[in-house]
Structure 1
Amino acid sequence: MPILESLSEFVIALAASPWVYLVVLLVVIIDGFFPPIPSESIVVALGALAISTNAPNLILLVFVTAVGAVIGDSLAYLIGRRIGLDRFTWMRRPRITAGIARARTALDRRAATLLLTARYVPVGRVVVNMTAGGTGFPLRRYLPLAALSALGWSLCTVFIGVLAGTWLKSNPVLGAVAAIVIAFVLGLLVDAVLTWVARRRDARRVGESSCDVTVDLEEPLVELVETS
């Protein structure tokens, strides 16, 4: 079909262009503090195309994606530090306030766990990073954790695309679409698991004393997902 062939040529040409790395960098940076930007979809699609068409370069894609994630998360941290956590009306909504309070508690108790896992939850990572900045979490501790989190997320996201691209190597566009679908399904599975953990936690709390203030290890990320 002419339309499909034209679409295929356009996507492959974009992936082969050196400008694709700048596009990925900007998209991932913006996604660090503005979740509606679908950086995961773009990265997994390009990962699939890298296997099918040998472009873009996988190592450069992982590097640029990781750098963009560090910058985007750091900007969210700086926004939190600069404007605080209650300046705007939307920040004072009950669910947002609750999420920030939980993130604050979790950062005090197990910052590494929270920062490394929150990157995989689009809204959760913004809340966590802004809370880290707004509560004065030390930058010297934040940056190494943010860098490690960004690298892990970059490798995982590109790997999903590589799997789909290997599976459908003869059709680069279909491989890119499959990669996006796989990433979406994995996201649904993560949400389902977190929901199940939350229900288990709630069931366990039934009958507990109101003065019990212990926090489960899995609570911070689950609460952030519920809040978002």
Structure 2
Amino acid sequence: MTLAAWMYSINQLIEAHAGEPWVLIALAALCTIDGFFPPVPSESLVVGLAAVGRPPWWLLAPVAALGAVCGDNIAFLIGRRLGHTRMLNGGRRRVKTVVWARRQLRRRGPLCILVARYIPGGRVIVNAMAGATGFSYRVFLAVDVIAGILWSAYSVAIGTGTASVVGGNHMLAMAVGIVLAVAIGAVLDQILRRLMPVRAEADEEPVPGAVDEPRERHSHAA
């Protein structure tokens, strides 16, 4: 089979199944799982489906946003369950990321939550740390809903924009759109870390809108 014939077969397969009702269910599930398990490529799926044009964007965007918000809230609850001390268990890179997330949540919590949604690994750490440090859940939920809506719109825009340039080759549009989304995420990661640098020392000032962690997380019962 020639390359052109193979590409045509793939495009036909995508067209045949992209509009199936179960696709939206799978999308919601993957976006939810991606909120606390970053290896699941939900953003790639949103971009790819948007490039295909089915399901329509007015269904694709809200389903992706709903799944993203659910996943972020699960990460928040996991962090609250584990507490800050257990979040620090891991390698040096993880400890550095956790310290950075805690510091930024204390200084500019809503902005950190909003921007981190575009960084697959970063958003999980930030959302979990928001829960672990006692960040106000009402504030977190309000900001996260906005972040989920903006993220889904951004992902759909990348897919549809790529498709409008590439044309009817769905596989190529998906590939270009996904690469573009990953590149933008990497750039945003670097910008965020430059604007919000990591420092070695830990801050002890209270988190705005936060509550104290339960005492048992810091000391053992007598």
TM-score normalized by structure 2?
Answer: 0.80
Alignment partners' CA distance in 2, 1:16 and 1:35: 26
Residue aligning to 1:94: 92
CA offsets 1:136-159 (integer angstroms, 9 cap, x no match): 111111100110111111111110
CA offsets 1:85-115 (integer angstroms, 9 cap, x no match): 3437x73433323322232222222111111
Aligned amino acid, residue 11 of structure 2: S
Aligned amino acid, residue 71 of structure 1: C
Structure with bigger helix share is: 1
Alignment partners' CA distance in 2, 1:178 and 1:96: 31
Aligned amino acid, residue 161 of structure 1: G
Q: Residues 191 and 110 of structure 1: is their aligned pair in 2 closer, same or farther, counting only changes over 3 Å?
A: closer
Alignment partners' CA distance in 1, 2:22 and 2:67: 15
Alignment partners' CA distance in 2, 1:99 and 1:181: 25
Alignment partners' CA distance in 2, 1:71 and 1:49: 25
Q: Residues 74 and 41 of structure 1: is their aligned pair in 2 closer, same or farther, counting only changes over 3 Å?
A: same
Residue aligning to 1:75: 74
CA contact (8 A) 1:66 1:154 kept: yes
CA contact (8 A) 1:85 1:91 kept: no
Residue aligning to 2:125: 127
CA offsets 1:195-227 (integer angstroms, 9 cap, x no match): 7x37xx79xx9xxxx99x8xxxxxxxxxxxxxx
Aligned amino acid, residue 121 of structure 2: V
Aligned amino acid, residue 26 of structure 2: V
* Number of positions where the alignment pairs a residue of Structure 1 with one of Structure 2: 199
Q: Shift of residue 69 of structure 1? A: 0.6
Matches within 5 A, 1:201-220: none
Matches within 5 A, 1:1-228: 1-50=4-53, 55-87=54-86, 91-191=89-189, 193=191, 197=194
CA RMSD after TM alignment: 2.6
Aligned amino acid, residue 187 of structure 2: L
Structure 2 unaligned runs (5+)?
204-222
Q: Shift of residue 41 of structure 1? A: 1.1
Could you tell me the percent identity over the aligned residues?
38
CA contact (8 A) 2:119 2:189 kept: no
Partner SS for 2:32: helix
Alignment partners' CA distance in 2, 1:172 and 1:183: 16
Q: Residues 151 and 104 of structure 1: is their aligned pair in 2 closer, same or farther, counting only changes over 3 Å?
A: same
Structure 1 unaligned runs (5+)?
214-228
Q: Shift of residue 172 of structure 1? A: 2.2
